[in-house]
Amino acid sequence: MSQPRDAGLTASELNIHDAILESALAVTNAIANLIKCATDSQEEIVAQGRGSSSHAAFYKKNNRWTEGLISAAKAIAVATNLLIETADGVIHKTHNLEQLIVASNEVAAATAQLVAASRVKADFMSKTQDRLETASRAVTEACKALVKAVKTIAAKQLEQQEASVDYSKLTRYEFKVTEMEQQVEILKLEKELTNARKKLAELRKFSYHDEEEE
């Protein structure tokens, strides 16, 4: 995301890119702090729970918790990489704004998973866990800010598109054709939405099954 700017971009496009970069970097910075806090929390939990046993023995004894923590850490890594890739893609026009919103939501979901996994073994009133919870909220807020920025950009782009069309200049025939085209487009999108939801449900079923086998 740190590549030089395209000299051919308009001032409006540069502002959009700057807004996306600023919001995406805020998320990645919050994630970096989250990972640090999660590591501190994990070390505290192991130190307090293992007694005189080794780290390996503690992880083996608490294998379900360990698996949950590893799964959450993997989810964070994948979601962060997707976010960076998508933000870069939006800037270089290989990805769209909707993909960036989904990537941001994935980061927020993975963050919640990580905190939940840590919370299972954390001591009540643990300062380390409190810092992790605070870091988690910072990631969530940064993700919300990114989504808000993207939606604002999308709304402005839609306004510009609508402003470029003067329906008052259409003949009655042209108006009717345009109206029918929009109805057809809506039906196509509704069908695509139904199919996409079915596919997502199948993917999630496979994902849950895959996690149970690991």
How many whole angstroms separate alpha carbon 90 and alpha carbon 149? Answer: 13
Which candidate, 33, 20, 58, places its Cα nearest to that of 137? 33
Listing DSSP states for the chain in one string gives --PPPPTT--HHHHHHHHHHHHHHHHHHHHHHHHHHHHHHHHHHHHHHHHTTS-HHHHHHHTHHHHHHHHHHHHHHHHHHHHHHHHHHHHHTTSS-HHHHHHHHHHHHHHHHHHHHHHHTTPPTT-HHHHHHHHHHHHHHHHHHHHHHHHHHHHHHHHHHHHHT--GGGS-HHHHHHHHHHHHHHHHHHHHHHHHHHHHHHHHHHHHHHHHHH-
What is the dotted CATH code of the domain comprising 11-164?
1.20.1410.10
pLDDT value at residue 212: 56
pLDDT for residue 204 is more than 80: no
Residue type, 28: T
Which candidate, 139, 152, 156, places its Cα nearest to that of 25? 139
pLDDT value at residue 5: 52
Write down the pTM of the prediction.
0.69
pLDDT value at residue 30: 92
Tens digit of pLDDT for each residue in 1-34?
A: 555 555 555 776 777 778 888 888 898 899 999 9
Burial class (CB in 10 A: 0-12, 13-18, 19+), 10: exposed
The share of the chain scoring above pLDDT 70, in percent, equals 89
How many whole angstroms separate alpha carbon 114 and alpha carbon 68? Answer: 8
pLDDT value at residue 211: 57
Tens digit of pLDDT for each residue in 68-97?
A: 777 888 888 888 889 888 888 887 788 888
Bin 14: left if φ > 0, else alpha if -120 < ψ < 50, else beta.
alpha
SS (H, E, C) 168-182: HHCCHHHHHHHHHHH
pLDDT for residue 104 is more than 70: yes
pLDDT value at residue 9: 59
In the chain, where the domains are located: 11-164, 166-214
Under the banding of pLDDT at 50, 70 and 90, the label for residue 209 is low
pLDDT value at residue 1: 53
